[in-house]
Amino acid sequence: MSAPRGAGGGDRLARLLNLVPYLLARPGIAVSEAAADLGVSDRQLREDLELLWVCGLPGYGPGDLIDMAFDGDRVTITYDAGIDRPLRLNQDEALALVVALRMLAQVPGVQNLDAVERALAKIESAAGDAAADLPVLASQTSAGMERVADLQGAVARRHAMRLTYYTATRDEITERVVDPMRVLVVGGRIYLEAWCRRAEAVRRFRADRIESATELDEPAAPPPDAQFTDVSEGIFSPSPELPLVTLRIGRWSRWITEYYPCEQVVEESPERWLVSLRASDLAWARRLVLGLGPDVAVLGPPELVTAVRGESQSALSAYSDV
């Protein structure tokens, strides 16, 4: 159910969400009595009831929409479309919502700040230690919030932007012009999704890795075929076209099987696991493996084996020269 547009839309949405459980608890209540309890006029309540008739579950056909029965001036909810059931979030959804609410609470001039802070406190309490341990991202600092506000403003005004961006997979800083499409939160991190004119493709830029962002006078003009990316499974979606990295890891490197999507995890022994995962960039995979040190052995692909062996030998040679 979407909020009605225009002034008071947020208030009306809150009233509609409250109206269903209120009527469920009072079957057959007079419209005039309900209006008095809810602090609205009879006419406004009747308009709200008419709107409820077209609200419900996706599909929006018979059996999906809220239904009511009238007996003279009295109303009874006969089908609530599940709105009486509490919303349940998994941990990733809860943490993403915590980050989004923390962002919203820091936006200057935000309306209903008390309501935002109350909702944030409830969700943080329900999330428990997971929310307490949530790292403070650069995008949640004061400077980071200004950056996010700049990104949101460019999206709203449909203006192109010039970004200076740190690309972690290649360990380099690049400058590029992008056509912003949306700002989103995935896995507790904030991203700008935009058409990158340099890559000629849709890309997602982590807000905390954007070193500078300048809004341009020219309008954003992503091509007609530029589509939002499905991030329901996370920001990185492995595909068969990407190189398959196979590693034999020790006990202290098992965290990668929880942090990265793996195609195969085989327990060869209590001490060693065989792990296969897709990598979008072999340079990133090389840095990952070198960072794990002697706790990992690279089995494939051959070019990664060669690259890691070469860097390892160079490092050993540097030590022997000391």
* pLDDT tens digits, one per residue of 216-236: 999 999 999 998 877 766 666
- Find all residues with CB under 8 Å of 123, minimum gap 6, and list them: 89, 94, 97, 98, 101, 131
Enter the DSSP assignment of 25. Answer: T
Enter the DSSP assignment of 292. Answer: H
Instruction: State the average pLDDT over residues 152-166.
Output: 93
Nearest to 265 by CA among 241, 288, 246: 246
Q: In the beta sheet, which residues pair with residue 298?
A: 247
pLDDT for the residue numbered 178 = 97
Q: In the beta sheet, which residues pair with residue 15?
A: none
Tokens of 277: 């995962």
pLDDT for the residue numbered 282 = 86
pLDDT for the residue numbered 74 = 92
What's the whole-model pTM score?
Answer: 0.46
* pLDDT tens digits, one per residue of 74-84: 999 888 776 65
Percent of the chain with pLDDT over 90: 27
CA distance 171 to 307: 16
pLDDT higher for 96 or 173?
173
Lowest mean pLDDT among 36-40, 168-172, 240-244, 270-274: 168-172
Class of domain 9-79: mainly alpha
Pick 140-219's CATH classification: 1.10.3470, 3.90.1690, 2.30.30, 2.60.120. Answer: 2.30.30
Residue 6 DSSP SS3: coil
Same CATH fold assignment for domains 9-79 and 140-219: no
Instruction: Judge whether 189 and 136 are in contact, CB under 8 Å.
Output: no
Residue 283 has pLDDT above 50, yes or no: yes
pLDDT higher for 314 or 192?
192
Domain ranges within the chain, ordered by starting residue: 9-79, 91-134, 140-219, 244-320
